[in-house]
Structure 1
């Protein structure tokens, strides 16, 4: 197997972690033999400093991009700042030359600025969803995956997902045995189940511009454990069933049932993360009629079970 050349972009104020992940995984220390040839690149080769006070000596310019197998953009400091024309052109030329182009975390924004992701699917950190969608409406943003490979354009979700993405690339080029071996040395799973959906916050609307709907929301929040139906809520709000349904949807963007389910799921998250009670008790206190219904709704919304959620966020197997 021939050595695979990998160019890693380093920018002023780079993130030490984001750059170190591909630097280590595509290096010589985690595999038995040299599989990759790393080239650190910058617009102006020099000693480049991170915001954390570390520095990297970069010896190659952007012209290297069109000469390698893989180009990695591991970081971008300001998603609203358009990269230089020189950098964007270098990425386009690399793509035209047949290189895989990789954007880790916010590095995805750089690929999108270059126009490489137009019409393609991509991933990035969930906290920057609104920024990304506003800037790049032609890109199909996927926040349910840790990484996305769309025809050699490979992008990943936030911080820790960079390692998953790099291991995927190694697996594709070198096979599962080598990827698994490297993962073991890094003491990380060779392939993590699930995506980043469970880390995305889903705030439940608390207040609206409609005072009558606010009164209903306040009542529901205080009584989530009780069963509710449209008729009883309409009577509580002194509105007809049809009027309540129309006003509720207009004010919250959700149906009554959707809001109640979202609120109960949000409460269940808090209970799982902070209370030492059984899953059955969580379901009851969150207002679900049965544990089975709770489990089904929870997995449908967050793509993990309540038990897995507790393990992820509390480090417990209970």
Structure 2
């Protein structure tokens, strides 16, 4: 099946807003047998959209349009939809489980034209419904999430199998859309890098919940991002007790009990301080396990000995701790994200290495 994508919106064309739909749309469609052969990005003009669809419909089996379904003046796609409905053999609504604007699915003499909202949070859910409908009754692709390997490295490791996999980078994690027949091979090749849940936070949460364990967090450079990720998961109150955002040294000493002399001697970004923060948050929260991290997110604040992108992470329990350092080269936002995800990954590693650690 030959497909085309049309992204509408003046804000995209003029560069005011970055597109977030082309790659995931193409990956979803590819996973169900529809190869995207052409992509158009146009403004909010009904005439432009009408001309674009008329041209694409001559050479494609499926055209997916995003944007313009709202009620604001620049949402003009509805005008084109009403015109196309007069020619369509069938017209169906596409449910929007996370928003108010329904999608529209039209069959124009064997050419299927689908309209979805431009809001990524909504359309990224709805495109899965569209993709699944391309192969009704057929076993759908498996979704796996990997962490700790880049997209290119994963493809290299998977070899021929990787040519049948779709890759969706997502906040330092990578979603893999895999054909059912390839799932076992992908899991075997990537090993521990494949998570047991859709995200690191969910994976860690499931491990904690299954064992009846609680967790506390002590964060410096990430400013509470780890706590945010953990509490994004529904039911996290079963295991997440809370955290201390000890951005300043006086908070490290005052709330976590890190000795000022230790910070003076080793520096705030050090193995010793990360370990002391961990011990402090375990004592403060009473959690069974915890994690602590201190680093240099950038763009300033680095030095030759402690450059931007360096982070020290400590995870563990009162009886056993695991401490390590990592170095990354992203911008400030990217470093904060990878620091937080790496802390969760290290906690996951600690829990998996200590299967006997559980409450009761």
Shared fold (TM-score, shorter chain, > 0.5) = no
TM-score range, shorter chain: 0.3 to 0.5
**What TM-score do you get using the length of structure 1 for normalisation?**
0.33
More helix by share: 1
The structure in which a higher percent of residues are strand is: 2
TM-score (norm 2): 0.30
